[in-house]
Amino acid sequence: MMNIAKSKILQSTEKYATSSHINFIVRRIFFFFIIIGTMAMLFSFTSMPHKRLADEREDSVAQDEDSVVSVIAWFNKNDTMTYWINESTWDIRKGDTIKTAGINTKIMITVTDSTKKGYDMEYSFLDFKTDSVKDSWKQNLLNEALNKYKEAIKGTTIKFRTDIYGKIIKYDNLNEIKKQSKQLFMETIKEMSIIDSLAVAGIDLKTLLKDVDADRLVQGYIDELELMFKHHGTTYNIVSITNHSDATEDDYETDSYVSVSENNETYDYRIVVDVNKYIPKDDIKAIIEGVASAYLDEDKFNEVKEDMDENFDKQVSDDLLYNTYLSIDYFYDGWPKEIIKQEKRVIGKIGKLSQKYITWDCRNVRH
């Protein structure tokens, strides 16, 4: 029987696998479409992704353990930073990447007050644009959702506070955001074209609606905000390290790479974490069966299980390579400059890739 620690890893893997099939807006409104994405990826198995910085890395040990960078906010009242958040998904087929969906979201972060205890700040949604991806059901679903919600979400502002280092310590109006997200969901869910497809697939809409968690809907609004302030309040050695861990009863075989660097001229700095996990195909089967049993009726689940018992080993001969990659560049004053977050799942030469690319657009700070 799978132990608890490994089960948690599988749950995490499932979450990232499903997120490759949803997008910035759909994730905020339609949590249950995550399940559809999981099924599509595991049952069936344009532009290129933004270049990963670690693709050209050099493995090494610590360069100077006495040198450090500290992620600290040096903000002022009325400072503003505007960013574009670009989210895209790709199919990987025999080495080629085929774009399946994309959306670009413009946001602004404003410092409304600066005190000895920290900062009062606002995170506002300014604009949404979709990519042009032809013949993609994912992009069509995204466009449908965007047309329904972009005007309602434009101007939405999340108020939050940080400590003196820039670490988020409190949200002031998430209850209002929760009401908004739930209302949008309940008003339009039954109008989406995918609803008929759910019924045909044997998926119980009432079960899906019952499982919708308002707190998780709200989390969709703040995922990127928390990513941007993820490292604030932490000090890191300037270092470049690779590490390999063999599989144990509690974890999978893992290769990891961590790099922290600083520009000697501008004092901007970068933090990179790159992790590969190697997940046995038997555990992949367990993930699929777990999701299917939770959301399919008994007859449909039995059909899926019977088909998997008969064909899974024929169709899936390799283990799953699950890669998570995060690179964050900061200005010297602690404002995020550029972020690349990527999840990739590959079995053999077939897989899925999802990527967030966040870059600054307008910088208005007092220095």
| pLDDT at residue 291 in the model | 67
Alpha helix segments (H runs only) across the chain: 4-19, 24-29, 33-44, 137-153, 174-188, 194-200, 205-211, 214-228, 281-295, 298-315
Residue 352 makes CB contacts below 8 A (sequence gap 6+) with: 17, 20, 21, 41, 89, 90, 91, 92, 344, 345
* 3-state SS, one letter per residue, for 291-307: HHHHHECHHHHHHHHHH
CA distances from 355 to 116, 244, 326 (A): 37, 25, 10
What is the average pLDDT across 298-319? 70
Residues 367, 363: Cα–Cα separation, whole Å: 11
More confident residue, 16 or 3: 3
User: Please, are residues 107 and 160 in contact by the beta-carbon 8 Å criterion?
Assistant: no
Alpha helix segments (H runs only) across 229-339: 281-295, 298-315
User: CA angle, 12 as apex, 11 and 13 as ends, to 5°?
Assistant: 90
Residues 275, 258: Cα–Cα separation, whole Å: 9
User: Please, are residues 328 and 341 in contact by the beta-carbon 8 Å criterion?
Assistant: no
Above 60 in pLDDT, residue 227?
yes
Q: What is the pLDDT of residues 123-161, one digit of tens each?
A: 999 998 877 766 666 667 667 666 667 777 888 899 999
- DSSP string covering 21-65: T--HHHHHH-TTHHHHHHHHHHHH---PPPPPGGGG------S-T
| pLDDT at residue 53 in the model | 45
Q: What is the pLDDT of residues 40-91, one digit of tens each?
A: 333 333 445 655 544 444 444 344 445 899 999 999 999 999 999 998 888 8
At 304, is the pLDDT very low, low, confident or very high (cuts 50, 70, 90)? confident
User: Please, are residues 37 and 21 in contact by the beta-carbon 8 Å criterion?
Assistant: yes
Q: What is the pLDDT of residues 172-197, one digit of tens each?
A: 998 888 887 777 766 666 666 555 65
Residues 345, 16: Cα–Cα separation, whole Å: 9
User: Please, are residues 315 and 281 in contact by the beta-carbon 8 Å criterion?
Assistant: no
| 114 closest CA partner among 159, 174, 163, 60 | 163
More confident residue, 269 or 318: 269
Above 50 in pLDDT, residue 14?
no
Residues 73, 79: Cα–Cα separation, whole Å: 12
| pLDDT at residue 98 in the model | 84
